[in-house]
Amino acid sequence: MINLKLIETNYDEFNAKLKAKKVDDGVLASLLEAYNSLKAKKLELENIQAIQNAKSKELGIKARNKEDVSELKAQLEINKKELQTLSNIVNELELNLEKIAKSVPNIIDDDVPLGKDEDDNVCILSVLNPREFDFTPKEHHELGEALGWLDFSTGAKISGSRFTVLRGDGARLSRALVNFMIDFNISRGFELVNVPFLVNSNTLYGTGQLPKFADDLYKVDGEDLYLIPTSEVPVTNIYNDEIIPASKLPIKMTCYSSCFRQEAGSAGRDTRGMIRQHQFEKVELVAITKADQSDAMLDEMVSCASDMLTALGLPHRHMMLCSGDLGFSAAKTIDLEVWLPGQGKYREISSISNTRDFQARRAKIRYKDDKKNNLAHTLNGSSLAVGRTLIAIMENYQNSDGTITIPEVLKKYF
């Protein structure tokens, strides 16, 4: 959740950064009004409490001196009722402010470029040159169907649209990628964790998926359980409501999981092939750090994912997301986009974000440093989306006869 103290200490900058993230003026006005109303009532409550304390002290002195305290007792009783009324009002105002703040995204970092959408993202690095083909490269769905690797019709039959069955060497390549990614991340110091694929609403609130993105989630009827949209959710929340010794930070974790998304806002997009699926596999990176470690950790995580793509021989580029394309919880995001020769364009394959203390405030993730509890910083990133990496290998390593060459680093996994 956003740091509401910024409303008072630096409102103009706070307001500008939220507007850059497409937050509606009406929401910002409601947030400011709710904050000011709460502040005014809290001050009123504190003043009456101070009066009540002073009169209670006076009552004690007069009682010891055997003076008449009947009038003072009556005043204290009136004040007590007023205090209770004000306390109830303050509680209601706090709930109202929290309700508004829950749906307000994280503010952007100072170096995030301003922009409206993905067209305003900035390329900051290109890695490897795309291969030059002496034939017209095909898209993955055409290659996969011809090889018997990708079975879209069976996926649709047993589940519906945006589901795919992988078969034979296609399934083996997918599994090889998972093992390669996990081994690669472990070699970079990330601890492997396995987590549940079903989580409760408090867990999803902690990382920012609820309440705003409920429509994108698959919920179990009659239970407080949801299928995870990404393993960032359960992995980050391993430390929900915990205080971590500063000496244990940074904590670096990697996790393989299936992910489930309704893709409610993507109707008509990427309907062919397996670019955008309701169920997909991903290997995730998650880090929990002290505040002064998160910038360096973002660079480390970006390098880890980029080096993995380089090891696979896949041309890609680093894109700094503009303000209008940033995710809800992110203060800064670097996307890695891989070259797909069949499509003739770069497509996102990894998204690595620093959320600063936004998620930690919601999930109550703290660390103890010099006898003081501080909010941690959390980071997350795909390393990599398995299906899209499979697609990238198929399109970049295709041969003129329709076969696929397996990258050297993956051969030991076959």
Binding residues for ATP: 261-263, 348-351
Contact present, 274 and 141 (Cβ < 8 Å): yes
Q: Indicate the annotated binding residues.
A: 230-232, 261-263, 284, 348-351, 382
Closest CA to 255 of 274, 279, 276, 233: 233
Q: Give the integer Cα–Cα distance in Å for 235 and 317.
A: 27
CA angle 195, 278, 280 (to 5 degrees): 50
Contacting residues for 36 by C-beta, under 8 A, at least 6 apart: none
CA angle 236, 305, 332 (to 5 degrees): 60
Residue ranges of the alpha helices (H) in 65-161? 70-102, 140-147, 152-158
Contacting residues for 64 by C-beta, under 8 A, at least 6 apart: none
Tokens standing for residue 4: 């509401």
Contact present, 45 and 90 (Cβ < 8 Å): yes
**31, HSE (Cβ side, Cα atoms, 13 Å):** 26
Closest CA to 269 of 261, 381, 397: 261
Q: Indicate the annotated binding residues for L-serine.
A: 230-232, 284, 382
Contact present, 398 and 142 (Cβ < 8 Å): no
